[in-house]
Structure formats: C-alpha cells, structure tokens
C-alpha cells in the first residue's frame, strides 16, 4: 500500500493567516493527489484534485502544489469557515486508494 | 446535481452482517464508479472498495477481501455495501462516494453520501 504522511497533525492559526499543509507519499505518485476538507459530523468535501486543480465551487484562496511524492495545500487569507480537518489522498494506485491521517486546523 | 442519500444507522452484533444503501437522486448511479469509505470514530478515512456499474466490476482493498460485497441496483439507482463477520473494530461511519466524472483513472471523490453510523455491540 502507498503510505500518505501529513504534517503537521495539528495546526493553530488565526483568521487572515496563510497556512500550508504538507503531504508526502511513500513512492512517486506523479500528480495523483487530492485534498479534502472535513468538518465534524459531515462528509469530506473535495477541494483539490490532480495535485493542483481546484474543484468547482471551491474558493480561490485554496491552492495545491507539488508532484512526485511531495505535495502542499495552501490556504490564503484564512476564513472562519476554514477551520476543519484536511486529508490528502492518492489515486495513483487503487489497490487500495489511501488517505493521510489528517491535519486539524484549529483557531489559535 | 447528483446527491447520494444513505440508509440509516445500524446496530449489529459481532459476527453478523450489515448492509448499507446509497441511493442517487438527481442523476444516475450507472455512469460513474461508486466507492465505499469508512471512518472509525476519531480516526482517518479508509477506502474499502468500489463498483463500476457500467461494467459491473468491483475492486476491494485487500484488508476487506472476502468480507465486503459491493453491488448496484440500476432499477433503483442504488449501490449497496455489505460487510460480513462484523468485529468490534468495524464500528465506524460508512460513506459512499462518487468518482469525479472527468478524472482519468478514477479515485477522485466529488460527491459523498451523508454517512451511515454502524455500531457493533454484543
């Protein structure tokens, strides 16, 4: 299985900040990397796919980058509704698709 | 806009089976792969398997091989996931999710069901 490692596991930030979450794959996954946001009691929401493509309807303050094994999710000008848990996920190999353990973005 | 609506919470005994349903409204379930993902309380997301309705093919994570059955009923626009030989550690929220239509190769989940909580208790 491809292992996905996110850092940090918890991130404290304030409204208006710029934050970056990193995700490292255990092997080269080219650009087959997706990012999801999940709020308590809700299903995950797709933010970014193919490493850097913004899903329809997602605010432009979200951006993704990277390739190979190292990826980032950046949120510019953090908004109150952005405090949530973020997961990366690889779809390079479906045996199985795997997720990172999540990064909880909390209000400082 | 397609929505996925899942069946309600279940309480099951160890060793029994659970069947969770996922009905598509506002669109058809037939054209895209449907995956099942679970989340143990307080933990991350775990992909269990998928069905590609147009081909009636399924793929499963090795961890669940032999215990999970994913089907689709085109007449009711519904996918079902059955997990057998339940253990205490199978207690989780189970989600269905649809593949993003334009993603090559699959595995990008753009529409999710609301989740179904499965409790395993003696």
Who has greater pLDDT, A95 or A8?
A8
Nearest CA in chain B to A102: B44
Average pLDDT of A64-83?
98
Instruction: Determine the Cα–Cα distance for residues A103 and A22; give it in Å rounded to an integer.
Output: 9
Give the model's pLDDT for residue A62: 98
For chain A, say whether B103 makes contact (Cβ under 8 Å). yes
Contact B46 A89 (CB under 8 A): no
Contact A99 B108 (CB under 8 A): no
Contact B112 A99 (CB under 8 A): no
Contact A99 B103 (CB under 8 A): no
For chain B, say whether A52 makes contact (Cβ under 8 Å). no
* Interface probe with B: pick from A96, A101, A104, most Cβ of B within 10 Å: A96
Give the model's pLDDT for residue B37: 98
**A8 prior amide bond cis, ω within 30:** yes
Average pLDDT of A23-46?
97
For chain B, say whether A104 makes contact (Cβ under 8 Å). no
Residue A58: count of CB within 10 angstroms of its CB:
16
Give the model's pLDDT for residue B42: 84
Instruction: Determine the Cα–Cα distance for residues B76 and B46; give it in Å rounded to an integer.
Output: 27
Token output for A40:
């308590």
Give the model's pLDDT for residue B103: 76
Give the distance from CA B42 to its chain's centroid.
Answer: 19
Give the model's pLDDT for residue B54: 85
Cβ neighbours for A75, distance < 8 A, ≥ 6 positions apart? A18, A19, A20, A61, A62, A82, A105
Cα dihedral value B63, B65, B67, B73, nearest 10: 120
Give the model's pLDDT for residue A43: 98
10-residue averages of pLDDT along chain B (122 residues): 96 98 90 94 93 90 94 94 97 96 86 98 96
Reported confidence tier of residue A59, pLDDT bands at 50, 70, 90: very high
Nearest in space to A61 (alpha carbons), one of A2, A6, A13: A13
Cα atoms in the Cβ-side hemisphere of radius 13 Å centred on B13:
3
For chain B, say whether A83 makes contact (Cβ under 8 Å). no
């Amino acid at each position: 299985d491809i292992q996905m490692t996110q850092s940090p596991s918890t991130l404290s930030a304030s409204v208006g900040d710029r934050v970056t979450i990193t995700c490292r794959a255990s092997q080269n996954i080219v650009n087959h990397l997706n990012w999801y946001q999940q709020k308590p009691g809700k299903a995950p929401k797709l933010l970014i796919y193919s490493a850097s493509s913004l899903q329809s309807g997602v605010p432009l303050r979200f951006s993704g980058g990277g390739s190979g094994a190292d990826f980032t999710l950046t949120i510019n000008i953090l908004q109150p509704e952005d405090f949530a848990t973020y997961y990366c996920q690889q779809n390079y190999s479906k045996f199985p698709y795997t997720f990172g353990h999540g990064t909880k973005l909390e209000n400082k | 806009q397609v929505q996925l609506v899942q069946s309600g919470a279940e309480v099951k005994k160890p060793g029994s089976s659970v069947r969770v349903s996922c009905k598509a409204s506002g669109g058809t379930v037939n054209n895209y792969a449907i995956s099942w993902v679970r989340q143990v309380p307080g933990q991350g997301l775990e992909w269990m398997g998928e069905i590609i309705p147009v081909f009636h093919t399924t793929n499963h994570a090795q961890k669940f091989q032999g215990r999970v059955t994913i089907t689709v009923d085109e007449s009711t626009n519904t996918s079902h996931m059955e997990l057998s030989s339940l253990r205490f550690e199978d207690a989780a929220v189970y989600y269905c999710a649809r593949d993003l239509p334009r993603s090559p190769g699959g595995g990008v989940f753009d529409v999710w069901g609301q989740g179904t909580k499965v409790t395993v208790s003696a």
